[in-house]
Structure 1
């Protein structure tokens, strides 16, 4: 008998190859999708948050919404893992709204782990106040923060139940587009100082401080019949184009939703996921007059201008993504609590703030600033007493096929998001900020330059904590992707 070494090798290897292939397949699962949108516009009048001054809204320029996306993987008909993500037209997630949502969902859906629910804010500065005592408000005649939190959390919880109960077998895809929406808002001067929104038309202006991310990470979800159910748009820019107004407004996300729904169906769920953008803004830091002229000539508002750019980038991503839909893929969602070191209050800052706070104590209109500065004095006392604890943050990390989705609580400077995306093994990485109270996390360079967003009053967690967050996030992504290859 003639023995062919290659034939023998093939015969022995085939069973092992089949085992390996089957092992890989067991990690993939069928995907089920649920989505819906609910209105969280408050009863008027209502206090708005996002500025240092008190604003009472008596009009609604556009409704503010909460949009739910449920992703669930199933193997052999049994639930494997899931995530419940809710994008909210709010400035951030605080005032106990997440806890209230989870508590209300728990009474209706006993089968789910409410820690799998994650809320993020689009950071519109024309949404209701969530914290009592933040501003000096009238006793009666308005919707108070506690009343709004109860209303919004009820609406969101009910929407989660609806989305969970409406899950259908579906498909997902991901794509990359581009949209020039963000500009870095920190201005540098010749003496090394920096200032948010600083004057650029001066001799000592030397440039803009940091990088801008114009990439648009987009997730698309269809049902079995290829009807587009939901889309999540990850743009590294907060919704602050009309932040100073005194009317309820969802900012540029409202025209984005309207434009997409006009073309893809009025029931399309559109989630706004803000990327790492603590130093970004949808405003022109230069060429401002030229931009305003073009808007006038083209007959577009500032919100329509940015929405056009986002939707154009979305269409760019969609054109490619719809060619690679996935119904059977790896999905895993991990939740863990991490500890981040707090930014330390120096004795110099303590003395400075002690003097400054006296200016605000007798002026009710300065209550926001007074509270802002008082929190630093309280932190200093905890430091001195040795009772200060690290900042605890719930980190959500997900693998969905070839992409990663990660969250954080903050207004995270773009540099940290750039690190996460560059070091991630995923094909695309969605970094979602503002899933918590939303204090700034600046870079070392920004702290050196100073100014709002990079001073101790703005930074519960500083550059060192931002780097710890980055390392924890990258480690979590690596764990998801080394467990099984794409």
Structure 2
């Protein structure tokens, strides 16, 4: 068996001249002679989330052009930069002129992404693969816990009531590497258990810390190196410290780095650790298996008290166009409660991808998944290394049980369609899918 690989990128610049987003692709196919054994196309897009309809539209664009590809094995993940273009209609108040509206941007990018995927697939060639692990202090839990048992995202830590940080931080950096037949490094995929929201706002559009990561790696390993950013289970994480902020700012200043460059420095250092090991174990015969299935997760139950509070808040914002986001945030809970009471809510359906590439497992989910769930999956996986990729859709936060007890943004009912019960189902179904890619243990 040999693998065939390709990669491509797309830097979207609209006719108006505004840089919009970068998109990176990795395509892998395993063959035995002329027989195709399995396939995958993985797209990393600098967006806050993959909103409903985007994946389907890209697949529809690509499918007639690639009759030899199983279209359900095309995956898109978002890096969760908060400085991405808006792709969701009716959520924000936008200028009437001078900018691309969400639907216009989505249509514009789908064409460009689709064409780049087709071109890359048609140019795929025999290659090699490797994997490694480094360490990078990038994810830092962003939920402060207080004496009364409550928790708050980005809550103050310099107060007498502060008692600690809520959860674990996964500083492992999991990396895939792809070479051509002559061992020339072509592409890499980096799994960081943290969203790329160091900047988390402002008026400029950019990829957050992934941009300096790509720039630094290209300076060292060639200007044509393709870098896929994979956000791991980091719904409760940030790259910014919750305390010791002054000390970190001082060291960053002494190094002459911006906040984005400091995060990139850490990722690149961990990447180099992984690369030094992986380059000693380059594989040309790694097995590729790719399973796709739709799973169902139970919705988080809305209590009567939660529904009443949400109804009151929705009414408060209903008539103010500038508060459209807040209105929808609360009104969504009301609608969920009504469906729950009517018995029409059903289950949440999610497309789950599980891949085996040599000794590595890769599993996807559509959520801003709290780190506890990612740790469970990694700890129980049969793979040497397990990559968990979040935000292959826009399922919202999936908080841990302790986070729900503490409350606060990211854990309250408005933030979360799926709760800890559904999170545990996700863990079990993901592990079943991963284990199915390995021979049963005797």
TM range (shorter): over 0.9
* Correspondences of 1:38-437 after superposition (within 5 Å): 38-42=10-14, 64-437=21-394
Deviations 1:133-166 (A, max 9, x none): 0112244432010011111111111111111111
Determine which of 15, 33, 45 is the counterpart of 2:5.
Answer: 33
**How far did 1:41 drift?**
4.4
Deviations 1:102-139 (A, max 9, x none): 00001211221211000001000000111110112244
RMSD between aligned alpha carbons? 1.4
Cα distance in 2 for partners of 1:437, 1:295 equals 34
Match of 1:17 in 2: none
**How far did 1:358 drift?**
2.0
SS in structure 1 of the partner of residue 163 of structure 2: strand
**How far did 1:95 drift?**
4.2
Cα distance in 1 for partners of 2:441, 2:159 equals 55
Instruction: Say if 1:191 and 1:96 are closer, same or farther in 2 by CA, change over 3 A.
Output: same
Cα distance in 2 for partners of 1:409, 1:250 equals 20
Instruction: Say if 1:44 and 1:204 are closer, same or farther in 2 by CA, change over 3 A.
Output: farther
**How far did 1:262 drift?**
1.3
Deviations 1:428-461 (A, max 9, x none): 0000000001400001100000000000000011
Cα distance in 1 for partners of 2:10, 2:387 equals 24
Larger Rg: 1
Residues 213 and 267, structure 2, Cα contact 8 Å, conserved in 1: yes
SS in structure 2 of the partner of residue 431 of structure 1: strand
**Runs of 5+ in structure 2 lacking a partner?**
none
**How far did 1:483 drift?**
5.6
**How far did 1:476 drift?**
0.8
Residues 39 and 155, structure 1, Cα contact 8 Å, conserved in 2: no
Residues 132 and 146, structure 1, Cα contact 8 Å, conserved in 2: yes
Moved over 6 A (4+): none
**Runs of 5+ in structure 1 lacking a partner?**
1-28, 46-58
Cα distance in 1 for partners of 2:360, 2:288 equals 10
Residues 366 and 395, structure 2, Cα contact 8 Å, conserved in 1: yes
TM-score using structure 2 length: 0.98
Cα distance in 2 for partners of 1:273, 1:119 equals 10
Cα distance in 1 for partners of 2:368, 2:389 equals 10
Residues 405 and 431, structure 1, Cα contact 8 Å, conserved in 2: yes
**How far did 1:43 drift?**
5.5
Aligned residues between the structures: 442
Q: Decide which moves more: 273-282 or 134-143.
A: 134-143
Instruction: Say if 1:393 and 1:41 are closer, same or farther in 2 by CA, change over 3 A.
Output: farther
TM-score using structure 1 length: 0.89
Deviations 1:294-329 (A, max 9, x none): 111211000000000000000000000000011112
Instruction: Say if 1:386 and 1:42 are closer, same or farther in 2 by CA, change over 3 A.
Output: farther
**How far did 1:364 drift?**
1.7
